[in-house]
């Protein structure tokens, strides 16, 4: 088999297996969009926005429950991943990191069902304040 034929086969396999986004092509993901926490009384993440920023990259912004008004953070890089048995509509999981001068927040997002995502947020304090790290599980619906 000629090398050009072999290259075409490998490229076709990559496209068929969903790696087009990683190769710099446009992608579609069920995670892209505006999401709102299903718990209206949340004390943490109120809203999450995931956007396709082009060339196989994504970003996220989030709104946190603060007083007297909620605060918006971001945008930050968001890395999309495909899982086996997921949404079947492109990358259906992803993660992003929000770092401040006193904490690191890791956001892990997974497609849950049509119009719903699951967010696992891990917060680790880095300022020697004595505050304990914590983990939250949050369900969000499409806005």
Pull the structure tokens for residue 36: 């709102």
User: Which has more pLDDT, 89 or 38?
Assistant: 38
Would you say residue 6 has pLDDT above 90?
no
**Cβ atoms < 10 Å from Cβ of 46:** 20
Q: Could you report the per-residue pLDDT of 17-46, keeping only the tens digit for each?
A: 344 334 343 457 899 999 999 998 998 999
Measured between alpha carbons, how far is residue 48 from residues 5, 20, 76, 97, 126 in Å?
A: 44, 25, 12, 13, 24
Q: Which helix (H) or strand (E) holds 33?
A: strand 33-37
**Average pLDDT of span 3-29:** 43
**Average pLDDT of span 83-87:** 62
Q: 12: pLDDT confidence band, cut at 50, 70 and 90?
A: very low
DSSP SS3 for 40: coil
Q: 86: pLDDT confidence band, cut at 50, 70 and 90?
A: low
Pull the structure tokens for residue 122: 């891990």
Nearest CA among 38, 39, 36 for reference residue 63: 36
Q: Which helix (H) or strand (E) holds 46?
A: strand 45-54
Query: Under a CB-based contact definition with an 8 Å cutoff, are residues 107 and 117 in contact?
Result: no
CATH class, range 26-142:
mainly beta
Domain extent listing, the chain: 26-142
Least confident of 1-15, 33-47, 74-88, 94-108: 1-15
Q: Which helix (H) or strand (E) holds 7?
A: helix 3-16
**Average pLDDT of span 118-123:** 96
Query: Under a CB-based contact definition with an 8 Å cutoff, are residues 74 and 59 in contact?
Result: yes
């Amino acid at each position: 088999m000629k090398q050009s034929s072999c290259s075409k086969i490998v490229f076709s396999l990559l496209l068929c297996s969903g790696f087009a986004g990683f190769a710099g092509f446009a992608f579609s993901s069920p995670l892209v969009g505006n999401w709102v926490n299903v718990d209206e009384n949340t004390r943490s993440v109120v809203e999450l926005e995931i956007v396709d920023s082009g060339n196989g990259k994504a970003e996220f912004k989030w709104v946190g429950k603060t007083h007297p008004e909620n605060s918006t953070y971001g945008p930050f890089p968001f890395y999309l991943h495909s899982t086996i048995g997921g949404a079947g509509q492109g990358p259906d999981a992803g993660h992003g990191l929000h770092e401040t001068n006193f904490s690191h927040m890791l956001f892990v997002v997974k497609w849950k069902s049509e119009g719903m995502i699951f967010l696992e947020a891990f917060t680790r304090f880095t300022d020697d304040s004595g505050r304990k790290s914590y983990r939250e599980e949050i369900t969000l619906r499409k806005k």
